Chain A
Amino acid sequence: MNMKRTTITCGLAASAIVIAIAWGLLAASLIPLWAAETAIVVAFPVLVLFLGLWWRAPGGEEDIPFIGY
């Protein structure tokens, strides 16, 4: 799998935004606790994986070329 950095950044941002919105709406008492927890249960795994992928994702240019042993 070779996802582009922009794709991964979008996924990372989307999951972070979902968590932030859920947290904000719960703090404002606009949604019940279970709804916020459900949103976080869905978004948190995506955040964990995309954060790791984001660190290593290619940014459009090639990585250091393999020069052999």
Chain B
Amino acid sequence: MIEYLVFAAAFGLLLLGLHRKVIARVQMRPGPPVWQEILHALKFSFKSTWVPKTASATLYVGVVLIGIGIWSAALFVVLAGESILILFAIYMLHKVVEHGFGLSSGSPYGKFGGVRSVISAASEIPLFVTIAAIYFFTGSLLLDDIIAYQTVHGPLLLIAPPAAIAMYLVILSKMPYGPFSIVEGKELVSGYKTEHFGVWRAGIAVIDGTKTFVLLFAFVAIFIGAVPFSLALIIMTVILVSLSFVCAVTPMLSPYDSVTVQGLITGLMLLYAGYLWWVMP
């Protein structure tokens, strides 16, 4: 099982490297090599590391451990075909972790990043109304049951496209350099990550890699269904490239606009879920 975690983190980092490459090429720049994020993780592992005097040491280190732990758990949840409610609960925990990163550091940049994490959560988490839409069709929130439903009825991507769009936006919200990436805005240096350096930053790289893998893999499982693992990796890569195009051509929104846009989409999703509740037997 440890091999799953290592693969997920490494492949996720490779996807994030590809993300940077695609954005750069769309913007007519050469961009870094696709394995740059893996190199970053390794590089930070070798850096001198300590806890800043202004930081709350326990929280400062603890959030890195918790971040890696929750996304490791999320990977096992997806692989075991367990409830997607657990997966989204872990997503919400990640917002708490981001907040903890920012608050523990004692840096104003980190703190602003942490605060932005909370206000962005207010708009991202309601997007989980996608869960309701899925339940109306499948009658279950177990990933195994959702996959079994799609084996009989076809991909949920075609049956409930608004729900797929909502989850796509949830993933887009977590992508770096995206329109909703307000927690890492350049005016905040690196946002909530600013004061985590050295091995702590390498830990963040493992978190980001595993998180990217889990969210994309879950998207494939929830909206496309049972596919061979190699095909799932290809589909994940295609989805990521599409996300990269969105990020490349869309400026980062201001925090207010980001929450407003996501809130409007959430409103549309609620209407869709209400419509399904009305028409479904």
Show the binding face of A for B, using Cβ within 8 Å: 1-2, 19, 22-23, 26, 33, 36-37, 40-42, 44-46, 48-49, 51-53, 55-56
- Residue numbers in B under 8 Å from A49 (CB-CB): 61, 64-65, 68, 199-200, 203
Query: Are B64 and A45 within 8 A (Cβ)?
Result: yes
Query: Are B72 and A53 within 8 A (Cβ)?
Result: no
Closest to A53 in B: B199
Query: Are B51 and A45 within 8 A (Cβ)?
Result: no
Bound Cα distance from A23 to B64, whole angstroms: 24
Bound Cα distance from A14 to B49, whole angstroms: 21
Query: Are B1 and A48 within 8 A (Cβ)?
Result: no
Show the binding face of B for A, using Cβ within 8 Å: 1-2, 5, 44-51, 57, 61, 64-69, 72-73, 76, 80, 198-200, 202-203, 206
The number of inter-chain residue pairs (CB within 8 angstroms) is 70
**Chain A interface main SS type:** helix
Could you list 9 further interchain pairs (A-B, Cβ under 8 angstroms) beyond the known A36-B1, A56-B198? Answer: A41-B73, A45-B64, A45-B65, A48-B202, A49-B65, A49-B203, A52-B202, A52-B203, A56-B49
Query: Are B69 and A41 within 8 A (Cβ)?
Result: yes
Bound Cα distance from A42 to B45, whole angstroms: 20
Query: Are B45 and A55 within 8 A (Cβ)?
Result: yes
Of A23, A42, A56, which contacts B199 at CB under 8 A? A56
What are 9 A-B pairs with beta-carbon distances under 8 A? A1-B57, A2-B50, A22-B1, A41-B73, A44-B69, A45-B67, A48-B68, A52-B203, A53-B199
Query: Are B206 and A48 within 8 A (Cβ)?
Result: yes
- Residue numbers in A under 8 Å from B50 (CB-CB): 1-2
CB distance from B191 to the nearest CB of A (A): 21
- Residue numbers in B under 8 Å from A40 (CB-CB): 1-2, 5, 72, 76
CB distance from A51 to the nearest CB of B (A): 7
